[in-house]
Amino acid sequence: MTARTLFDKVWDEHVVHRLSEGPVLLYVDLHLVHEVTSPQAFDGLRRAGRRVRRPDLTLATVDHNVPTTDRLRPIDDPIAAKQLEALSTNTRVFGIELFDLDSPNQGIVHVIGPELGATQPGMVIVCGDSHTSTHGAFGALAFGIGTSEVEHVLATQCLVMSKPKTLEAHWTGRLVPGVTAKDMILDLIGRIGTGGATGHVIEYTGEPIRELSMEQRMTICNMSIEAGARAGMIAPDETTFKYLQGRPRSPAAGAWNAAVQHWRELHSDPGATYDARVAIDAATVAPQVTWGTSPGMVTSIKGRVPDPKQFETEAERSAAKRALEYMGLKAGIPLEGLPIERVFLGSCTNGRIGDLRAAARVVRGRSVAPTVRAMVVPGSMRVKAAAEREGLDKVFTDAGFEWRNAGCSMCLGMNADVLRSGERCASTSNRNFEGRQGKGGRTHLMSPEMAAAAAIAGCLVDVRGWNLADLPESAELDLAS
Amino acid sequence: MTPFVSHTGRVAGLPRENVDTDQIIPKQFLKGLARTGLGPALFYDWRYLSDGQPNPEFELNRPAVAGASILVAGANFGCGSSREHAAWALADAGFRTVLAPSFADIFFANCCQNGMLPVCLAEHEVKELFRRLAGATVERPYVLTVDLPAQRVHDEAGFTAKFTIDPYRREMLLQGLDEIGRTLREEPRIAAFERRRAIGIPARA
């Protein structure tokens, strides 16, 4: 039998039928739904008199649009409220489970899938959101789709898809302390560019990947789309199984062993080949900060804002020039020391409990600079509850951070959490596009540790060498359990 | 879905790379419940000044490209968010086809789902189209024909370029087929697949 990659194995297991023109009907195990990209899909079903084929394999929550302030007050934005109401109605009519604003399970769709154990190795998972690639951290094939495809999956539980190519991103060596999964993925995007993996599924391999926690692996897979990849995958291992065991939607005790036995087969065979390959020495990766308006416009915190003239092509030169104008930056200035006004800790990239713990170790016993407004938006209400059990909320609020309810929040600024024009933000999110966090807002992407340090320092700063506080005792207990 | 066969129309150009879907349609326009009516929001933050007046600097506001139905753009067009609103906004603003050296995967699929043809051309061909478009005036707009059956783009002044597209997408676009209706015809196969593997526990090879 020919050697197959992890991707090949998951793909092959889900081919329902090969169409005569080439693509396949691919079966979907888990369809995640949220309020922004689904109303038109449900409307399409209704108009065509179609049903949802497998409501039991479909899970909905509200995240993009929701306020992160007091949940007891009515929602100020009437248009957003209408969209949330539409999801509530649609899920009721079509028989789909919904974690609504009042649910303890509500949160960002890519945070709640894994934390509930609904995301499992070997699955095909789709959602009308490009960061669905997050779930690939479990060895699932997970990717974002448009609303027409959402409708297609609702109606048929399948997608018509041509087989993507594969790209192996292989790390060797060891990370330097203070360098995180976020830095690994930003560094990779900087190397291959925002279109570098278009048409491909990335598999992340190598010892530095094996050493990452599940949450750190999710951070890496999450930003696969920022390199243009359809999906990112990491082969499941003991870390994966340990994470999943005992979660509410994980296989029950009686089915657990059989599940793990199957999951153990989900790795690339020796000798399996990829269509492309990138090799990176983890020891060379420094804390990364974006300087421009695309995630590929990134460099080390010790770096300088590049001169547009140094780029090879005219397109790159004009893009860099535009980016510098938008970002209000001059070529050649060092990034370290650049003053910021806002800090955003959260998102499907870095809004998990591990991210909050890492940031809390930087923040504890220190204060947010008086010139900075900083906020923490936990990725889910479960993350929020866990953080509060551990006393992390107190660490953040004592330092001067705002402590919010769960949602996508200022990652995309669909709710009231936005930057004002010209405001500069250290953000743990995934996109620094023009206007992403608010029209005229200037986003610098970085790790939770780096964003926390920026909040304290009032400027971009290298977190390496900072003394890290111990977490509150309650957190240590939780970590040990 | 509206079929796409052959289309002749005025051309507008956006000579920028990595145009993301946040630019094509900013987030404040994603709160609606309909697929239609998004044309006025297309490229909103680039198209209008802060006082709401059209930005005369923006490429698509050039009088010579008014009424364009063909968009030529730089590489990796449509990157970022999966929002199909980007394709809906382009369609609602009158665009039938987008020509670029490369497209982001999800945006490409979203175009095809809406009867809008994404055409991949070589870098030098796109560059040549920008050069020809630069000479367009209100009196003499630049016009192209995008011919899907022939898989060819041409103008009346000697430009011609072939393109490839996967046969499934081609057929869907030419016929304007309802993809869901087509997949539902495979229902017995889907049901058989579900029977073969027990749903609810992990799939077995």
Per-residue pLDDT 10s for chain B (205 aa) are 899 999 999 999 999 999 999 999 999 999 999 999 999 999 999 999 989 999 999 999 999 999 999 999 999 999 999 999 999 999 999 999 999 999 999 999 999 999 999 999 999 999 999 999 999 999 999 999 999 999 999 999 999 999 999 999 999 999 999 899 999 999 999 999 999 886 544 443 3
Distance from CA of B76 to the nearest CA of A (A): 6
Alpha-helical runs (H) found in B28-154: 44-47, 85-92, 105-112, 123-134
What are A346's strand-pairing partners? A377
| Cα separation, B136 vs B141, whole angstroms | 5
Element (H, E) at A389: helix A381-390
Query: Is the backbone of residue B189 left (phi > 0), alpha (psi -120 to 50) or beta?
Result: alpha
pLDDT of the residue at A21: 84
Cite the beta strand spans of A13-151 per DSSP E.
15-18, 24-27, 30-33, 58-61, 97-99, 124-127, 141-144
Token pair of A474 as six digits? 């309650």
Residue A4 phi/psi, 5-degree rounding, is: -120, 150
Judged by CB atoms closer than 8 Å, whether chains meet at A146 and B110 is answered as yes
Query: Per the CB < 8 Å rule, is B20 touching A294?
Result: yes
Q: What backbone phi and psi angles, to 5 degrees, belong to A394?
A: -70, -40
Chain B environment of A322 (Cβ under 8 Å)? 16
Contact A216, A181 (CB under 8 A): yes
**Tokens, residue B83:** 């929002």
Which of A123, A73, A128, A77 is CA-nearest to residue A101? A73
Minimal CA separation from B69 to chain A, in Å = 22
A40-96, pLDDT tens digit by residue? 999 999 999 999 999 999 999 999 999 999 888 888 899 999 999 999 999 999 999
State the average pLDDT over residues A245-254. 96
Q: Tell me which residues of chain A, numbers 199 to 218, contact chain B at a CB-CB cutoff of 8 Å.
A: 199
pLDDT of residue A478: 57
Instruction: Give me the pLDDT at residue A219, please.
Output: 98
Question: What count of other Cβ atoms lies within 10 Å of the Cβ of residue A268?
Answer: 21
Rounded Cα gap, residues A351 and A357, in angstroms: 10
Q: Give the full edge-to-edge strand order of the sheet including A200-205.
A: A231-233, A200-205, A165-172, A276-281
Residue A481: pLDDT above 70?
Answer: no
Give tens-digit pLDDT for A351-372.
999 999 999 999 999 999 999 9
CA B59 to each of CA B39, B46, B71: distance values in angstroms, whole numbers, following the listed order: 16, 9, 11
One-letter amino acid for residue B143 of the chain: V
- In a mutational test of the B interface, the residue from A194, A314, A316, A419 whose CB has the highest number of chain B CBs within 10 Å is A194
Give the model's pLDDT for residue B197: 81
Strands B70-73 and B97-100: parallel
Residues of A in contact with B31 (CB under 8 A): 36, 65, 77, 79-80, 82-83, 414
- The amino acid at residue A438 is G
CA distance A379 to B169: 37
pLDDT of residue B203: 41
The residue whose two tokens read 């000697």 is B158
| d(C-alpha A207, C-alpha A203), whole Å | 13
- A223 contact B CB<8A: no
If contacts are CB pairs under 8 Å, which of residues 61-100 in chain A contact chain B? 64-65, 77, 79-80, 82-83, 86
Q: From CA A198, how far away is CA B62, in angstroms rounded? A: 31
Å between B36 CA and nearest CA of chain A: 10
Average pLDDT of A12-22? 93
Six-digit token pair at B173? 């676009």
* Helix locations, B56-157, DSSP H: 85-92, 105-112, 123-134
A17 neighbourhood in chain B, CB within 8 Å: 186, 189, 193
From residue A134, give the alpha-carbon distance in Å to each of A138, A267, A282, A397.
Answer: 9, 18, 21, 29
Q: What percent of chain A has pLDDT over 70?
A: 98
* Contacting residues for B188 by C-beta, under 8 A, at least 6 apart: none
Percent share of chain A, pLDDT over 90 = 95
Say whether B31 and A149 touch across the interface (CB within 8 A).
no
Look up residue A46 and give its two tokens: 């209704």
A346-A347-A351 Cα angle (round to 5) = 50
Which distant-in-sequence residues (6+ apart) come within 8 Å of B114 by Cβ?
A148, B1, B84, B87, B88, B91
Residues A292, B20: contact at Cβ < 8 Å? no
CA A424, chain centre distance (Å): 22
Alpha-carbon separation of residue B72 from A320, A331, B33, B138, B147 (angstroms): 21, 30, 29, 18, 15
CB contact under 8 A, A149 and B186: no
Whether residue B13 contacts residue B130, with contact meaning beta carbons closer than 8 Å, is answered with yes
Residue B69 three-state SS: coil
C-alpha A121/C-alpha A139 separation (Å) is 5
> Is B87 in Cβ contact with A130 (below 8 Å)?
no
Q: Is the pTM of this model over 0.95?
A: yes
The CA distance from A319 to the nearest CA of chain B, in Å, is 7
Cβ-defined contact of A17 to B189 (cutoff 8 Å): yes
